[in-house]
Amino acid sequence: MSKSGAAKRYAIALFELAKEHNEVAKYDQELRVVKQVIDENGEISKLLESPNLSVAEKQALVNTLAAHASVTVANTLKLLVERRRANEIVAVCEEFIKLSNEERGIADATVFSTRPLTEAEEASVSHTFSRKVGKQTLNIENIVDPNLLGGLKVRIGNRIFDGTLRGKLNRLEKQLTTNL
């Protein structure tokens, strides 16, 4: 997947349309679904990039992929296929999501915990860490990691906040070994 200037331009154009029609949150959700489906099923991206499939066959695949999406999102994806940029679909989705998050003051966060977080715990994590990164709220993906001894590890962009017991023990060990 390339992070080309073309992907950024398509994402910006779609984002501007979304803003005009007050549909930013809707398009964001639709593009997240499209990205997730492609990411989870490698065959789809292989088919979209295959030179053996015609543009019409690829557009039929995109129609299926975007069956529940708005007309504008579906047409944007079809336009990418028509212009032989099907390999940019995921990059366009990612760029749009970045623009959408920035506009709405949201950051994507991955929270690693020993058990699934409750809604109240997610809200608390969102409230606490969104202020640390200067955002209004966090869009949290909770990943259960039984290897953690306890606590949470929060990844927001390229920042990691490690409040796990394992992390604290590692920091203590490092501190003790450097003081000897």
Q: What pLDDT shows up at residue 2?
A: 44
Q: Is the same domain home to 20 and 70?
A: yes
**Domain end: 39, 74, 102, which one?**
102
Q: Is the same domain home to 40 and 125?
A: no
CA 58 from centre of chain: 24
Q: How many domains does the chain have?
A: 2
What is the tens place of the pLDDT at every residue in 101-149?
Answer: 999 899 989 999 999 999 999 999 999 999 988 899 998 999 999 888 8
Q: What pLDDT shows up at residue 15?
A: 95
With H, G, I as helix, E, B as strand and everything else as coil, classify residue 125.
helix
Q: What pLDDT shows up at residue 3?
A: 59
Q: Is the same domain home to 16 and 78?
A: yes
Q: Is the same domain home to 14 and 88?
A: yes
This prediction has a pTM of: 0.74
Q: Is the same domain home to 88 and 23?
A: yes
Q: Is the same domain home to 127 and 141?
A: yes
* N- to C-terminal Cα separation, the chain: 48
> Residue 15's domain is classified under what CATH number?
1.10.520.20
> Residue 146's domain is classified under what CATH number?
3.40.30
Q: What pLDDT shows up at residue 111?
A: 95
Q: Is the same domain home to 23 and 83?
A: yes
Q: Is the same domain home to 97 and 137?
A: no
Q: Is the same domain home to 119 and 91?
A: no
Say how far apart CA 99 and CA 17 lie, in whole Å.
13
**Domain end: 102, 135, 167, which one?**
102
Q: In terms of residue numbers, what domain contains 31?
A: 5-102
**Domain end: 73, 102, 131, which one?**
102
Judge contact between 48 and 80, C-beta under 8 A. no
Q: Is the same domain home to 67 and 115?
A: no
Give percent above pLDDT 90 in the chain. Answer: 47
Q: How many CB atoms lie within 10 A of CB 144?
A: 12
Q: What pLDDT shows up at residue 21?
A: 92
Q: Is the same domain home to 76 and 111?
A: no
The residue ranges of the chain whose pLDDT is under 50 are 1-2
Q: Is the same domain home to 97 and 16?
A: yes
Average pLDDT, the chain: 89
